[in-house]
Amino acid sequence: MSNGDRPLSPHLQIYAWQWTMALSILHRATGVGLAGGTLLLVWWLLALANGAESFDTVQMVIGSWIGRLCLLGWTWALFYHFCNGIRHLFWDIGKGFELDTARNSGYTVVVASLGLTGLTWVVGYMAMGAM
The residues of the shown chain that bind other proteins, judged by CB under 8 A, are: 1, 28, 31-32, 34-35, 38-39, 41-42, 45-46, 48-49, 51-52, 55-56, 78, 82, 85-86, 88-89, 92, 120, 123-124, 127-128
Distance CA 27, CA 46 (A): 29
Query: Do 43 and 59 touch, CB atoms closer than 8 A?
Result: no
Which pairs from 100-106 meet CB under 8 Å and 24+ separation? 102/20, 103/19, 103/20, 106/19, 106/20, 106/23
Least Å distance, CB 76 to other proteins, is 12
Least Å distance, CB 108 to other proteins, is 16
Least Å distance, CB 31 to other proteins, is 5
Nearer of residues 94 and 100 to other proteins, judged by Cβ: 94
Nearer of residues 82 and 103 to other proteins, judged by Cβ: 82
Least Å distance, CB 86 to other proteins, is 7
Query: Do 96 and 87 touch, CB atoms closer than 8 A?
Result: yes
Helix (H) or strand (E) segment spanning residue 63: helix 52-63
Nearer of residues 85 and 118 to other proteins, judged by Cβ: 85
